[in-house]
Structure 1
Amino acid sequence: HGGIYVHEKGQGLIEENEVYANTLAGVWITTGSTPVLRRNRIHSGKQVGVYFYDNGHGKLEDNDIFNHLYSGVQIRTGSNPVIRGNKIWGGQNGGVLVYNGGLGLLEQNEIFDNAMAGVWIKTDSNPTLKRNKIFDGRDGGICIFNGGKGILEENDIFRNAQAGVLISTQSHPILRRNRIFDGLAAGVEITNNATATLEFNQIFNNRFGGLCLASGVQPIVRGNKIFSNQDAVEKAVANGQCLYKISSYT
């Protein structure tokens, strides 16, 4: 079953525990609860590491969250936690998933080596991500789709196998002062009737190009530095090659 269940405005300090190998979520936080989780190791579960839902709040600080069959952290349905200084890695369904109106502040986390996106933002969710390192993902860095929003500021997003930031399907995030670099695909890819506001970002040394836009996409682009990208897609097309896949989502 699950590890720790905090509900109905529960509180508490959960500190320096090892929570592992649970069939359900390692920690469930729901219905107005506001616990503080600090310096725990939460790992090797068969579902989610920490699951915030139905207005679950609280603080998640300096934890090591890894090797879950689902994502390390999920935030949904009005939940608005503070997630700061954690390592979130090795998730088989991504690092952090924010969906169905989830919120949250994610700050100064290291999110890496996840099998899918480091951070998913979808279905009318609107989190704030500040000063995180999101890297070495086996897929994309941050994927925003199905009406996802979000404010992304001063993050380092690098060495991901697919797009550093993918924005799709009616989404409209704000990206400001991020560094998006050394990716194996596009730095930022915007497609499927999405848009975005990009201000003062540095996007460099990405294999498929810095900013890749689908036809008809018109983001607001102001004060960015986009340089030293390898533009492999553009070069391949110019050489007459047929491309059938740019990212795992297009």
Structure 2
Amino acid sequence: MARNILVSTTQRGAYPTIEDALRAVDAEAVITVAPGEYPATLTIHGGKITIRAADGPGTVVLDNRSTEHALLRTDGTTLVLTDLTLRSAGPVVVLEESTLTMDRCELEGGLGAGLAALDGSRVEVQRSRFIGGTNALVFDDSGGNVVNTEVRDAADDGIIVRVGGNPEIRNSTVRGCGHRGIYVYQSGRPTIEGCEVSQTTDTGISVVGSAPTIRNCSIRDTQGPGIAISAGSQGSVEGCTTANTGEPAIDVAEGAATRIIAGQQGPGHAAGVREEPSEQDSGRVESLLGELDEMVGLAGVKEEVRSVIDEIQVNEWRRAAGLGTGAVSYHLIFAGAPGTGKTSVARIYGKLLAALGVLRRGRFREVSRRDMVGQYIGHTAEKTAALISEALGGVLFIDEAYTLSRAAGAGGNDFGQEAIDMLVKMMEDHRHELVVVVAGYTKEMSEFLDANPGLASRFNKTIEFENYDSPELVLIMRRMAATDDYTLGEDVEAALHEWFAKIDRGPNFGNAREARKLFEAMRKAQSQRLRGLGRMPTVDELRTLVVADVPAL
């Protein structure tokens, strides 16, 4: 029979902490927690444990934000959580071979997952909220049900289903994620039904090599496609709607066997599927080249990109005339200091290749070492392959790519070399479907090319990004100010020239990032100055940055 235990910091006879209560029970207990905030870092091995708030939702907070350890970790446990708020600087709840029932709880995560169900765990989550965290929910070889639950503001992917995980996620919302809303890979088989996914910086729902059932979902306001299905995937998408997403709204790669039963797409989206390679769009090419020309400085970079585009266009004309064409590699190395526009140029380059018919879409996928490198042997190859599969038909941009080779040479349990080897393999396997741009410091990128014998042959063109000079940085500042509805007052530009002329331009010089930092410092100084006026500032005063706002070196 379950023992009933009270936790309270004020009531006599009660246990002061949940840890104390857990130490007092063997296998089965119901722990009722009085209102209050309790520091907690809990580990439960086995048993059947219920932890519930005595007075309902919002009255009990379990907090371990002083450490990055998981707030609650279980192993072989049957656990029930009811009416609790759990806050952690690291993972919140980690289940291993456990069963969890959660009702009316709120989880606020930090570095890690709000709820990670691992190694055959099963969950029943309803009427709960997940806020922040690297991810909200992660299912790894695990399943269960998630119903009427909200996921908000995850730093990376909102919900991850992998290694054959098969949860049913119904009538829930996922919004404001820093990457994808829901990511299904490594043979995941979830059912996603009646859910709303919105405001993601990438794809709403992304499927790689998996077989989900996605039914009657609404996806909107995403920077990437509403739903993206990679080659080798199965499952079905039925009755889903999209609005204000990246194009195409539903993107199904060649080689996917996923059944698409169309719903309704928002304005500008055609119901359906994969984009085929397009004909050259000369007007679009010129528009994009004009966009490139509008960027501050970078004269040598613009000339190099134009030479690549010219060669592609002339080769197409020769092909149409029945003449021979030489092989062209579209992969590029962008070498130079940070803040010199490498990411922006890579985005335009991808769109140019799409407008020229080289790529079937101009989608841009930016990744770094943390996206590619896993934690155990084989994990990195899986992660890297999944990322590349998502990028097919577009540009994969790897920032600070040299960190893969540098870390690999340090020994230990680092798998950067595994990521490089998989990259080389898939660049060959998908040489007509993928363009890779790698970026980083000039010297370090030379070391990167030595990490695999096949790298140098695939990247035969390096474009150098020079540091911005002082006039260019001042122009960048002027554009930043105009974008945010500010103006530079009399003599401010002269003061900025002097400021940038004196700043240290060592190896850590951030170029446009330095301009952004300076602009933010000037806005802060203006705010302090205007607050000291003792009156409501005029509109001109609110808009104008003056010399006094420029910080001293």
TM-score, normalised with respect to structure 1: 0.75
Which SS does the other structure have where 1:2 is aligned? Answer: coil
Flag the structure with higher strand content: 1
Letter in 2 for 1:162: E
* Distance in 2 (alpha carbons) for counterparts of 1:158 and 1:89: 14
* Distance in 1 (alpha carbons) for counterparts of 2:265 and 2:174: 19
Q: Does 1:141 align with 2:141?
A: no
- Post-superposition CA distance 1:120-171 (Å, at most 9, x none): 000x200000111011112210111142222001111222132201122532
Q: In the alignment, which residue of structure 1 is the partner of 2:152?
A: 66
Bigger Rg over Cα = 2
* Distance in 1 (alpha carbons) for counterparts of 2:261 and 2:198: 21
Q: In the alignment, which residue of structure 2 is the partner of 1:12?
A: 100
Q: Does 1:182 align with 2:267?
A: yes
Mapping of 1:1-250 within 5 angstroms? 1-8=90-97, 10-45=98-133, 47-54=134-141, 56-122=142-208, 124-168=209-253, 170-183=255-268, 187-190=271-274, 212-214=275-277, 237=281, 241-242=284-285, 244=352, 245=354, 246-248=361-363, 249-250=393-394
Flag the structure with higher helix content: 2
Which of 239-248 and 159-168 deviates more?
A: 239-248
Runs of 4+ residues over 3 Å off in structure 1: 185-189, 239-243
* Distance in 2 (alpha carbons) for counterparts of 1:146 and 1:97: 15
Where does the alignment leave 5 or more consecutive residues of structure 1 unmatched? 191-211, 216-233
* Distance in 2 (alpha carbons) for counterparts of 1:241 and 1:139: 20
Q: In the alignment, which residue of structure 1 is the partner of 2:84?
A: none
Q: Given that residues 48 and 68 in structure 1 are in contact (C-alpha distance below 8 angstroms), is that contact kept between their aligned partners in structure 2? A: yes
Q: Given that residues 30 and 57 in structure 1 are in contact (C-alpha distance below 8 angstroms), is that contact kept between their aligned partners in structure 2? A: no
Corresponding pairs, count:
204
- The two structures, once aligned, show a CA RMSD in angstroms of 2.1
Q: Given that residues 195 and 218 in structure 2 are in contact (C-alpha distance below 8 angstroms), is that contact kept between their aligned partners in structure 1? A: yes
Q: Deviation at 1:17?
A: 1.3
Which SS does the other structure have where 1:81 is aligned? Answer: strand
- Post-superposition CA distance 1:169-201 (Å, at most 9, x none): 532211014222324x665452xxxxxxxxxxx
* Distance in 2 (alpha carbons) for counterparts of 1:175 and 1:63: 26
More relative contact order, 1 or 2 (CA 8 Å, 6+ apart) = 1
Where does the alignment leave 5 or more consecutive residues of structure 2 unmatched? 1-89, 286-350, 355-360, 364-392, 395-553
TM-score, normalised with respect to structure 2: 0.35
Letter in 2 for 1:149: Q
Which SS does the other structure have where 1:12 is aligned? Answer: strand
Letter in 2 for 1:70: D
Q: Given that residues 163 and 247 in structure 1 are in contact (C-alpha distance below 8 angstroms), is that contact kept between their aligned partners in structure 2? A: no
Q: Given that residues 15 and 40 in structure 1 are in contact (C-alpha distance below 8 angstroms), is that contact kept between their aligned partners in structure 2? A: yes
Letter in 1 for 2:265: I
* Distance in 1 (alpha carbons) for counterparts of 2:284 and 2:249: 24
